[in-house]
A = this chain, B = another copy of it.
Amino acid sequence: MAHTGIDGFSMPSGDAVRRAAEALRMLGDPTRLNVLWALMQGETSVACLAELAGTSPTAVSQHLSKLRLAGLVTNRREGTFVYYQLADPHVGALLRQALSHAGHPVDDRVSEPR
């Protein structure tokens, strides 16, 4: 039963899984998803992100804190403003894929192109 790789298939290391899960869980929240998507246009301040995401600056700040801790975003201070940006273009790619997938809801019904 326990097949480990006779066919070349193998489970990833527990640590890689844990890190990937953490990153994905960070993306698994509507507010954070909005924030990250907004960050794809470039560096943005907290208040601006809050407006774009349609929520409070406090909530955004807390989310950004988690995202920074998870290594998904970096920040840069300029005066009283703090500008955030995506730490890794891969994150942007994941966002695009996920939202594209959401845009193509899986048809449970067969629809033939005609």
- Residues of A whose CB lies within 8 Å of any CB of B are 1-3, 5, 7, 9, 11-12, 14, 16-30, 32-34, 37-38, 40-41, 47-48, 51-54, 68-69, 71, 74-75, 87-88, 90-91, 93-94, 97-106, 108, 110-111
Q: Tell which of B12, B33, B47, B71 touches A20, judged by Cβ atoms closer than 8 Å.
A: B33
Residues of the B chain whose Cβ atoms lie less than 8 Å from the Cβ of A5: 41
Task: Report the copy number of this chain in the oligomer.
Answer: 2
- Asked whether, in the complex, the Cβ of B27 is within 8 Å of the Cβ of A71, the reply is no
Complex Cα distance, B105 from A22, in Å, reads 12
Q: How far is the CA of A98 from the CA of B101 in the complex (A)?
A: 15
A108 contacts across to B, CB distance below 8 A: 71, 74, 87
